[in-house]
Structure 1
Amino acid sequence: MTTIMPYRDHHFAGVASLWAEAFPDDSSWNRPEVAIPEKMRFQPDLFFVALEADAVVGSVMAGYEGHRGWISRIAVLKAFRGRGLGRSLLDHAEARLAALGCIKVNLQVLASNAATAEFYARSGYAVEARISMSKRLGGR
């Protein structure tokens, strides 16, 4: 049986392994040793793991700044995909955001990641006519 719960420090190694499998070409600022401590500093209650017999098999980060919610870093181990776990993680994060008063959730998907875009489309997300822009601060 899979359980979704808030991330705790003892989940670090499991999340690091999961992200290494799910995001093998990740940017340095998204690596677990950078991203997880930052998330634990800000809205740690919006970082969730899926556990199967105490092993991390999935994760999702969410955020809310009072106007829009965000979903990021959703991942499921390859051996556990196709069981609805990604959808359960997404539903869990959305429910927590809604409980905070969030009425709209945004997310970003690499244009080359058609499978992930399709997953979100099946979950009710739609492409909006927007340009995604970013700026790295502080040399990270």
Structure 2
Amino acid sequence: MNRIAIEQLLPHRGTALWLDTVTQLNADSISGQTVVGCLGQYDHNGNSHLLYEAAAQLCAVHGARHAGSAKSAYVAKVQQLQIHQHYSATLAVTVRCQLLSQNQAGALYQFNLYQNSQLLLSGNLLVVIEYA
């Protein structure tokens, strides 16, 4: 899935959309790549924790593709956030999200972000789903 298809699923545009591609999508997981320098609008030194937003956007794409009548998805909680390495603004980040559980109210995902196979960030996201 390319950036244009992602924009059709998410309200994010321009520099607010941190995903460049979705590389894998199935019923219980999704993977993708970020835009190189997605934290460019921030002082990226010491702000690696902000990359959870890329995972949140990827989870929203997953939810939009599998929830059917869902209107919107919101990140309600970030849990167990761990920074393993610092982010380099010159390389894209690979994002992988695994669906852990789901019900009518929302979904819980576990996420990992990598650069050059080095784990950058990991944690869990609780996503609340609003239905039309």
With the shorter chain as reference, the TM-score category is 0.3 to 0.5
Q: Greater relative contact order (Cα 8 A, min sep 6): structure 1 or 2?
A: 2
Q: Give the TM-score of the pair, scaled to structure 2.
A: 0.36
Of Structure 1 and Structure 2, the greater helix share is in: 1
Q: Give the TM-score of the pair, scaled to structure 1.
A: 0.34
Whose radius of gyration is greater, 1 or 2? 1
Of Structure 1 and Structure 2, the greater strand share is in: 2
